[in-house]
Structure 1
Amino acid sequence: MKKAFITGITGQDGSYLAEFLLGKGYEVHGLIRRSSTFNTDRIDHLYKDFHDPQARLYLHYGDLSVSGQLTDMLYDISPDEIYHLGAQSHVRVSFDMPEYTGDVTGLGTLRLLEAIRKTGVKARFYQASSSEMFGAAPPPQHEGTLFQPQSPYAAAKVYAYYVVRNYRDAYKLFACNGILFNHESPRRGETFVTRKITRGATQIKLGLRDKLYLGNLEAKRDWGFAGDYVEAMWLMLQQDKPDDYVIATGETHSVREFAEKVFQKLDLDYHQYVEIDPRYFRPTEVDVLLGDSSKARRLLNWKPRVSFDELVEMMIAADLELAQREKTLTDAGYSCNLNPHLCI
């Protein structure tokens, strides 16, 4: 039985990847940070008690800022594959917390690669690179496009990308960069614009709020489904030699178009409910991200399965169900703001 180690397992991508690997028969180990509250909602449906002999998903407390913990974990787990998804991944937040973002998103990758080198674990390594690295580069962007990062997050990801390539060359590690363009799902964090829109619109539909505040409506992104993209991560580590790949749908939509489509599907006029808030603009904006994934389609035999419309409908359906639960509790006299766990 193969073993996989996933950083960021409680995030959107980590949960879909854990699900995918368990379906492939893997034993899956995940890194989580210790905090005063549980943050395992996305993987609770997968998690079994540690003492269950049938359990194949195990969680380990640790932090990407502590190199010794990472080294000890790799010694103990001895994984066959490592998927490094953990990061401070919110672009706007990286302007407010640039040092923390650089430490976790950039140096966290270096610490993990050093742990592989020091332990001698023969693990194949996947690095979650980001389309944000392309920044101001003209579209379409592919593996040969020059990086022009426009945020501390993107700069940290560029550092991580090159340190992966350096360790691949210097120490002959099987290490891959997956340059994933925007990928969404009902498990997307609510501070990310697509989920912010579907959450806000469904709450407006049920009378739970009056307005939705957004930033730059003209930004264009290449949006796919996270469940499709984790398969590409796995495929990269099944190849004969390590390489770097762009993963994208090859089509672009603006934030405005996304919002219009969501409100239209809910029989609402978005003009009545969406307002612009300058606080949500980035100091330096990325106008267009459009990926050319022809290399991945050719060499990995990968392609996206879920269309843009299907993705939007999937997210609306999940958030409409969540909003209905909120409304039921609100009508019963509970406050979701005061008791957030009642609404989950």
Structure 2
Amino acid sequence: MSETQKTAFVTGITGQDGSYLAELLLEKGYKVHGLIRRSSTFGMERISHLCKEESEDTDQVCLHYGDLTDGLCLRRIISEINPDEVYNLGAQSHVRVSFDMPLETCDVSGLGTARLLEAVRDCQEKSGREIRYYQASTSELYGKVVETPQKETTPFYPRSPYGCAKLFSHWLTINYRESYNMHASSGILFNHESPRRGETFVTRKITRAVGRIKVGLQDKLFMGNIDAMRDWGFAGDYVKAMWMMLQKDTPDDYVIATGEMHSVREFLEIAFGRVGLDYNDYVEIDPRFYRPAEVELLLGDPTKAKTQLGWELEVSFQQLVEMMTDTDVEKAERELAESKRVTSVKLKAA
């Protein structure tokens, strides 16, 4: 790898992981390029502080319009950037939604990886220089688990279209590594959350509701299976593992997890307890939020990542839940203040 400034290309840069990874790479002196989809709404909230008009500045992110469904576009962008590292975080990543949109999920989260790997391989062969590739795999590969805890050698048994698409991507990355001698690694990341998590994901759905209930903007929270068990960590910790994988001389696959398992019920207890409330008074179970095929428990074994990468956790489960809750309480307070301001303006106008 060159001692000069490195260049990284990140798909899914506007997402939770992409924003934390972009921050990390900028801190390490990288020139960061990101892929964004064209849409009627400009979803830049997570990375707006990293992007300015002067995209050539080394401390800012340079964005490129494109999509994982467009292979020609990916080839063009990769060829123009000629990056040192590529991080594929882009996906339709909502497990429940993947049952409603299985074809799009498989196209983006599955075939999108094939298109990107081909673009990287093509650029690498033409330039004659190594491009290191990171694939975002997922604990959903394990699905109906056959052993606990789950490690790199545990057989896969995905239980959703999302998990199946990601399984294709995972094995394709291994295939390209072995077939074309590419430096391609996969991180099998267990659930990782943050205040930047999308509001449709269960953890953020909970903390958003806690904030709104606390200030009087919401009365109830409707949930599905609150006894499901997950291994939850902080996204900011997990993106460090992604970067560490691409600094190793030899590519490989790693489970990234906390090694602790907690239920959705525990998450509710901590989040509501943080604001002095009992979740039993506000939570109602709604069968509509159950998955067609439920994944009951996931627990990762991060031993390999800790011993071979030197990766360590910095944020505990308790700290994570409290961090997310505090952020969403502040957001709810701003919502309440804005609601009162608008009402006041309307009353004056009347």
TM over 0.5: yes
Q: Which whole-Å deviations, capped at 9, do the CAs of 1:63-116 have from their partners, x for residues lacking one?
A: 000000000001100100000000000000000000100000000000000111
Structure 1 residues without counterparts, runs of 5 or longer: 336-344
Q: Which residue of 2 aligns with 1:127?
A: 135
Distance in structure 2 (CA, Å) of the matches to 1:140 and 1:15: 29
Q: Secondary structure at the match of 1:332?
A: helix
Deviation at 1:56, TM superposition (A): 3.4
Deviation at 1:272, TM superposition (A): 1.0
Matched, 1:183 2:192: yes
Q: Which residue of 1 aligns with 2:209?
A: 200
Q: TM-score, normalised by structure 1?
A: 0.96
Find 2:85's aligned residue among 52, 74, 81. Answer: 81
Distance in structure 1 (CA, Å) of the matches to 2:65 and 2:42: 12
Aligned pairs for 1:61-76 within 5 A? 61-76=65-80
The answer on whether the counterparts of 2:94 and 2:162 sit within 8 Å (CA) in structure 1 is yes
Q: Which whole-Å deviations, capped at 9, do the CAs of 1:142-167 have from their partners, x for residues lacking one?
A: 00000000000000000000000000
Matched, 1:274 2:286: no
Matched, 1:6 2:22: no
Matched, 1:37 2:45: no
- Change in 2 beyond 3 A, CA 1:104/1:326: same
Aligned pairs for 1:209-220 within 5 A? 209-220=218-229
Q: Which moved more, 1:64-73 or 1:266-275?
A: 266-275
Deviation at 1:265, TM superposition (A): 1.2
The answer on whether the counterparts of 1:48 and 1:55 sit within 8 Å (CA) in structure 2 is no
Aligned pairs for 1:190-269 within 5 A? 190-269=199-278
Distance in structure 2 (CA, Å) of the matches to 1:118 and 1:21: 24
Letter aligned with residue 89 of structure 2: L
Q: Which residue of 2 aligns with 1:339?
A: none
Letter aligned with residue 231 of structure 1: K
Q: Secondary structure at the match of 1:115?
A: helix
Distance in structure 1 (CA, Å) of the matches to 2:58 and 2:164: 42
Q: Secondary structure at the match of 1:58?
A: strand
The answer on whether the counterparts of 2:31 and 2:58 sit within 8 Å (CA) in structure 1 is no
Letter aligned with residue 67 of structure 1: G
The answer on whether the counterparts of 1:8 and 1:84 sit within 8 Å (CA) in structure 2 is yes
The answer on whether the counterparts of 2:55 and 2:62 sit within 8 Å (CA) in structure 1 is no
Distance in structure 2 (CA, Å) of the matches to 1:130 and 1:327: 37
Q: TM-score, normalised by structure 2?
A: 0.94
Structure 2 residues without counterparts, runs of 5 or longer: 345-350
Matched, 1:304 2:304: no
Distance in structure 2 (CA, Å) of the matches to 1:54 and 1:220: 42
Q: Secondary structure at the match of 2:26?
A: helix
Q: How many residues align?
A: 335
Q: Which residue of 2 aligns with 1:338?
A: none
Distance in structure 2 (CA, Å) of the matches to 1:269 and 1:262: 9
Q: Which residue of 1 aligns with 2:121?
A: 117
Find 1:318's aligned residue among 311, 321, 327. Answer: 327
Q: What is the aligned-residue RMSD (CA, Å)? A: 1.2
Distance in structure 1 (CA, Å) of the matches to 2:180 and 2:301: 30
The answer on whether the counterparts of 1:177 and 1:245 sit within 8 Å (CA) in structure 2 is yes
Q: Which whole-Å deviations, capped at 9, do the CAs of 1:192-222 have from their partners, x for residues lacking one?
A: 0000000001100000010011111010000
Find 1:149's aligned residue among 138, 158, 161. Answer: 158
Q: Which residue of 2 aligns with 1:136?
A: 144
Q: Which moved more, 1:52-61 or 1:203-212?
A: 52-61
The answer on whether the counterparts of 1:223 and 1:253 sit within 8 Å (CA) in structure 2 is yes
Distance in structure 2 (CA, Å) of the matches to 1:292 and 1:329: 45
